[in-house]
Amino acid sequence: MADLLLRNVVKRYGNYEAVRGISLEIPDTKFVALVGPSGCGKTTTLRMIAGLEDLSEGDICIGGRVINDVAPKNRDIAMVFQSYALYPHMTVFQNMAFGLRMRGLSKAEIRKNVEGAARILDISDLLGRRPRALSGGQRQRVAMGRAIVRHPKVFLFDEPLSNLDAKLRVQMRTEIKRVHQQVKTTTVYVTHDQIEAMTLADTVVVMNRGRIEQAGTPQELYHSPKTRFVAGFMGSPAMNFLPCLLEQNAAALTVRLADGTGFPVPESHLQRYRDAPGKPLLFGIRPEHITEPRGSVRGMFSEFTVVLDVVEPMGTETMVFFKLGGEAVSGRIDSGMSVPASGEKMRLVANMAHMHLIDPATDAVI
Ligand code: ATP
């Protein structure tokens, strides 16, 4: 186990900068997820850590030692890919033992490591089977087992769950988290799925166009995004963004939408927005903060009426879609509530304690 450091890491392919100066410190035993849209440079970053790509600039250190020029096999890193790349003619035991045999471990040591990892992954009964006789989830476990047996300093995962169906993905996600809690190996996990990143990682790193937009705990990124990109990327369905102006009336501030709808800014936010009145802004609010009026809660809730476009019952909640200030907006309604049909009016509240304002000139959250 060891800490991992990336210092101003750049990767160029010809004139194209795929990774544009990434610095990141991952303390020993921590789980970091790199998340971002396709092409943002997350796989390239992971491959540079693994040694499968050279760096154009910068340094990568493991346990305090610069490893830029260390061959992949000598980096003491184990990587789990999207395609599990198991040897089809070998049993599960042989697949997991392969790397250890290459390293010249004794038979007894190999057996102890493989059986230990198999217990952690709950695949002890499968050790005699060939990969073709395994389900997708079981193959994924074997691929993880092959990584665990090596007791590497760092685990790298590249979209390991994307070949699995939705239900299995959720199961394996929990499994990966459980395994990490047991083995505590420093981990970098690449995914385009923000839910996967948030559920698994101590630190989520949101990448965009070769740069880090923001790194922080899942809660920090979700509740205090620093840019419009992060605000829109984290959370599903995505945050609503509505063009607005901030009106000042004595000490009070009001978010004014294009159609005249006004939402009072809570007192707790007044200081932060003191320089914002007068310029065009974006009002950001998540769907779960637009709900049905809830009698018992008072204070930061601001009521308004909409005509519903679409109503989607989801079981645990009902999503409602409507136009507000000329923009398409979504809200989340408690599934126990009766919701009017599409085309009908509904009274809603915005929980302004969770409002965001974005400066469209810089895309920064104010
Ligand atoms: P995805 O989720 O689609 O895998 P990603 O965030 O992992 O995306 P990368 O695979 O890191 O993205 O690619 C980042 C950028 O670098 C992309 O624009 C890609 O086209 C480019 N790129 C990657 N590998 C090469 C290469 N060998 N030669 C040229 N360009 C490359």
Side-by-side strand order, sheet with 57-62: 16-26, 4-13, 57-62, 65-66
Q: Where are the domain boundaries for CATH 2.40.50.140 in the chain?
A: 240-365
Pocket test for ligand 1, best of 13, 19, 159, 233 (most atoms within 8 A of CB): 13
Q: How far is the CA of 218 from the centre of ligand 1 (A)?
A: 25
**pLDDT recorded at residue 172:** 82
Asked if 203 and 45 touch (Cβ cutoff 8 Å), the reply is: no
Which of these CATH numbers, 3.40.50.10470, 1.10.150.110, 1.10.1200.10, 2.40.50.140, describes 240-365?
2.40.50.140
For ligand 1, atom 25: residue with the closest CA: 13
| Ligand 1 atom at shortest distance from the alpha carbon of 190 | 7
Residue 346: closest CA among 364, 359, 333, 336:
333
Q: How far apart are CA 79 and CA 96, in angstroms?
A: 13
- The binding-site residues of ligand 1, defined as CB within 6 angstroms of any ligand atom, are 13, 16, 18, 36, 38-44, 192
Report helix angle 136-148 to 92-102, nearest 10: 20
| Ligand 1 atom at shortest distance from the alpha carbon of 47 | 11
For ligand 1, atom 10: residue with the closest CA: 43
| Ligand 1 atom at shortest distance from the alpha carbon of 192 | 2
For 30-61, give one letter per residue: b (16+ CB within 10 A) or e: bbbbbbbeeebbbbbbbbbbbbebebeebebb
Q: How far is the CA of 24 from the centre of ligand 1 (A)?
A: 19
Query: What is the fold of 4-225?
Result: Rossmann fold (3.40.50)
For ligand 1, atom 27: residue with the closest CA: 13
**pLDDT recorded at residue 170:** 87
DSSP label at 297?
-
Q: How far is the CA of 14 from the centre of ligand 1 (A)?
A: 13
**pLDDT recorded at residue 148:** 85
**pLDDT recorded at residue 246:** 95
Q: How far is the CA of 124 from the centre of ligand 1 (A)?
A: 37
Q: How far is the CA of 17 from the centre of ligand 1 (A)?
A: 10
Q: How far is the CA of 18 from the centre of ligand 1 (A)?
A: 7
For ligand 1, atom 2: residue with the closest CA: 38
CA–chain centroid gap for 48, Å, is 20
Q: Where are the domain boundaries for CATH 3.40.50.300 in the chain?
A: 4-225
Q: How far is the CA of 221 from the centre of ligand 1 (A)?
A: 24
Can you spell out the DSSP letters for 37-105? STTSSHHHHHHHHHTSS--SEEEEEETTEE-TTS-GGGS-EEEE-SS----TTS-HHHHHHHHHHHTT-
Pocket test for ligand 1, best of 12, 17, 38, 46 (most atoms within 8 A of CB): 38
Output the tens digit of pLDDT for each of the chain's 366 residues. 679 999 999 999 999 999 999 999 999 999 999 999 999 999 999 999 999 999 999 999 998 899 999 998 889 898 887 777 889 999 999 999 998 888 888 999 999 999 988 988 888 999 999 999 998 888 888 988 888 888 888 999 998 888 777 887 888 888 889 888 888 999 999 999 999 999 999 999 999 999 999 999 999 999 999 999 999 999 989 999 999 999 998 889 999 999 999 999 999 999 999 888 888 999 999 999 999 987 655 558 889 999 999 999 999 899 999 999 899 999 999 988 889 999 999 999 999 999 999 999 999 999
What DSSP element (H or E) covers 262? strand 262-264
Q: How far is the CA of 13 from the centre of ligand 1 (A)?
A: 9
Pocket test for ligand 1, best of 6, 22, 44 (most atoms within 8 A of CB): 44
